[in-house]
Amino acid sequence: MATTVENPRPKAAKPKPHLEPDLCKGCLRCIESCNHHCLMPGHEIDPRTGLIPIEVNLENCTACGLCFDACPEPYGLRPEIPEGQPEFVRPEDADHLKRPPRPKPQDVPDALRELPSGATLVLKGNHAAALGALLAGCRHFYGYPITPSTEGAELLARLLPKLGGVFLQAVSEVATVNHMYGTAGAGKRTMTFTSSPGFSLMLEGVSYMIGAELPGVFVNVMRGGPGLGNIAPEQADIKLACRGLGHGNTHAIAFAPSTPQEMLDLTRLAFDLSFAYRNPVVILADGYLGQMTGRVELPKALTQPGLPKWAVSGDASHRDNLISSIFLAEADLEAHNRHLDDKYARMAREARSERWQCDDAEVVIVACNTPARMARGAVAELRQRGVKAGLFRPITLWPFPIDALAEALSGASRLVIAEASSGQLEDEVRLAASHAGLALPPIAAVRHSGGVLPQQDEIVAGALAALAREASATAAPRPAAPCDCSDPDCGCGDEE
């Protein structure tokens, strides 16, 4: 990597200036600084630069040094090499001036340290995620208060100082994500709690973090939108997390926990994955889950984070590092995007899901977050009524666990998607199925928004209605629709 050259400004033996004409831009700023008229505007264009360098006549030079300070170029006007010393050598050729090689940065691995086991905790979702972050070794929290995520931040404000950690309430979500960018750039584990409008504001920074390949954990406790909406639960940021992480070619693993236990476990896991892939990880919770209290078992170990070798951590061995998302040349940026694409492709292995009662299910209900619990209740109720229902719960929304869904659907003739949004989860299911070439059974939607979650009885009714539709469809098969269109791309001719 780059090295430093000796740029001596000896005070005792004052040097006179030396100029390599091709490093002079002819700006003339140095001329006025010399009271002895040693420096004069030049007259000849330097063919190497197309610029006119100054002319130097040091006859009257007193070695006052003022001209050095006037030259904007690092290697423009330079101190002359005193007599008896080797001749001036261009910096790039100056092997003999090179400083000793720097220590190379090494990856310091994370360490797991055993935690005493004890009583089951009783925690609300936001608090569980906060403890998950502490156990994952996060000691840097930045955030801006926003309901219904704030309890997470408030708990960390209390606990982080006890662990020598940093809690900083930022002036905005924009500042928050940029504090995270800095701390992540230094190779440290950092996180925030936010809710939908706040997450929108952070997306610029998330794009920069992805571009610069920085880890960080965003817990978005989703609330109702668009705009100010309300503070009740919604799941309408699925599109942001899966398709809309700021500008450019961006993706991040997006978890959808459904219990306080998962808030803790997935937040912990999020830190590991965000460092493993050098990419942010998003936890999408809903307002209910953030506020919901439940039982939580702590893990058996905590993480003492190491330090990645790419960090800009303010020491000699990491001095050559750069955190940046700029790739000026088109080919370089395309190569970077290909690299990111490869990484996103590797993330496919992180797809996680839960299947419950799907083995013989005729109707599979897809739901995540708190609605997945309503769906679980619905499956139990349907089974009691003798209906073969199953629950498929994506735990990662991106990457979507499409292979597992395909298995869950192997015997199903109906799919019910229950969500607190106007179809964002369904869009993810459809898109993932389309990419995977998976034909989905007919989909029935059970949707709410505005702060209302799909309730168990609605999901039960939705599943029963979907099955009833199938029954009547089987009884009286729809006649092959005669289509008189002449569009060759119309599927009318393909219908079985």
Instruction: Give the interface with ligand SF4 as residue ranges (CB under 6 A).
Output: 16-17, 19, 24-30, 33-34, 36, 38-39, 54, 61-67, 70-71, 73, 76-77
CA distances to 150, 338, 392, 449, 493 from 371, in Å: 22, 36, 12, 12, 40
Query: Binding another protein by CB under 8 A: which of 44, 87, 100, 119?
Result: 119
Tokens at 307, concatenated: 């330090």
Q: Report in angstroms how near the CB of residue 332 gets to ligand SF4 at its nearest.
A: 22
Angle between helices 125-135 and 260-276 (to 10 degrees): 40
Query: Binding another protein by CB under 8 A: which of 73, 154, 272, 470?
Result: 73
Q: Are 398 and 261 contacting, i.e. CB atoms less than 8 angstroms apart?
A: no
Q: Report in angstroms how near the CB of residue 397 gets to another protein at its nearest.
A: 21
457 contacts which partner out of ligand SF4, another protein, none, CB within 5 to 8 A by kind?
another protein
Tokens at 228, concatenated: 């100010």
Q: Report in angstroms how near the CB of residue 117 gets to another protein at its nearest.
A: 7
Q: Does residue 3 touch another protein according to CB under 8 A?
A: yes
Query: What is the per-residue DSSP string for 339-375?
Result: HHHHHHHHHGGG--EEEES-TT-SEEEE--HHHHHHH
Question: Which candidate, 237, 146, 262, 230, places its Cα nearest to that of 193?
Answer: 146
Q: Report in angstroms how near the CB of residue 45 gets to ligand SF4 at its nearest.
A: 14
Closer residue to another protein, CB minimum distance, 148 or 198:
148
Query: Candidates 66-74, 80-88, 464-472, 476-484 — which segment interacts with another protein by CB under 8 A?
Result: 66-74
Q: Does residue 63 touch another protein according to CB under 8 A?
A: no
Closer residue to ligand SF4, CB minimum distance, 39 or 405:
39
Query: Binding another protein by CB under 8 A: which of 38, 191, 270, 312?
Result: 312
Positive or negative CA dihedral for 361, 367, 372, 378? negative
Cis, peptide link before residue 371, omega less than 30° from 0: no
Say how many residues touch another protein, by CB under 8 A: 127
Query: Binding another protein by CB under 8 A: which of 14, 336, 455, 470?
Result: 455
Q: Does residue 115 touch another protein according to CB under 8 A?
A: yes
Q: Report in angstroms how near the CB of residue 89 gets to another protein at its nearest.
A: 11
Closer residue to ligand SF4, CB minimum distance, 32 or 360:
32
Q: Does residue 170 touch another protein according to CB under 8 A?
A: yes
Closer residue to another protein, CB minimum distance, 1 or 471:
1
Q: Report in angstroms how near the CB of residue 34 gets to another protein at its nearest.
A: 9
Closer residue to ligand SF4, CB minimum distance, 63 or 163:
63
366 contacts which partner out of ligand SF4, another protein, none, CB within 5 to 8 A by kind?
none
Positive or negative CA dihedral for 28, 32, 34, 38? positive
Tokens at 22, concatenated: 């091709």
Question: What is the C-alpha to C-alpha distance for residues 229 and 227, in angstroms, rounded to an integer?
Answer: 5
Query: Binding another protein by CB under 8 A: which of 200, 313, 337, 422?
Result: 313
Q: Report in angstroms how near the CB of residue 178 gets to another protein at its nearest.
A: 3
Q: Is 339 left (phi over 0), alpha (psi -120 to 50) or beta?
A: alpha
Q: Report in angstroms how near the CB of residue 44 gets to another protein at its nearest.
A: 16
Q: Report in angstroms how near the CB of residue 29 gets to ligand SF4 at its nearest.
A: 4
Q: Is 229 left (phi over 0), alpha (psi -120 to 50) or beta?
A: left
Closer residue to another protein, CB minimum distance, 124 or 350:
124
Q: Does residue 249 touch another protein according to CB under 8 A?
A: no
139 contacts which partner out of another protein, ligand SF4, none, CB within 5 to 8 A by kind?
another protein
Tell me the residue ranges of DSSP E strands in 368-477. Answer: 389-394, 396-398, 414-419, 443-447
Query: Candidates 343-351, 375-383, 394-402, 420-428 — which segment interacts with another protein by CB under 8 A?
Result: 375-383
Closer residue to ligand SF4, CB minimum distance, 62 or 293:
62
Closer residue to ligand SF4, CB minimum distance, 52 or 445:
52
Question: Which candidate, 301, 307, 255, 296, places its Cα nearest to that of 136?
Answer: 301
3-state secondary structure of 395: coil
Binders of another protein among residues 178 to 237 (CB under 8 A) are 178-188, 190, 204-205, 208, 212, 230-232
Binders of another protein among residues 390 to 429 (CB under 8 A) are none
Q: Does residue 337 touch another protein according to CB under 8 A?
A: no
Q: Are 462 and 448 contacting, i.e. CB atoms less than 8 angstroms apart?
A: no
Say if strands 293-296 and 353-356 run parallel, antiparallel, or are unpaired: unpaired
Q: What is the Cα Rg of the chain in Å?
A: 31
Question: What is the C-alpha to C-alpha distance for residues 268 and 213, in angstroms, rounded to an integer?
Answer: 19
Q: Does residue 327 touch another protein according to CB under 8 A?
A: no
Q: Does residue 374 touch another protein according to CB under 8 A?
A: yes
Q: Does residue 10 touch another protein according to CB under 8 A?
A: yes
Which strands sit side by side in the sheet containing 443-447, from one edge to the other? 353-356, 389-394, 363-366, 414-419, 443-447
Q: Does residue 440 touch another protein according to CB under 8 A?
A: no
CA distances to 139, 143, 158, 218 from 167, in Å: 8, 8, 9, 15
Q: Report in angstroms how near the CB of residue 322 gets to ligand SF4 at its nearest.
A: 21
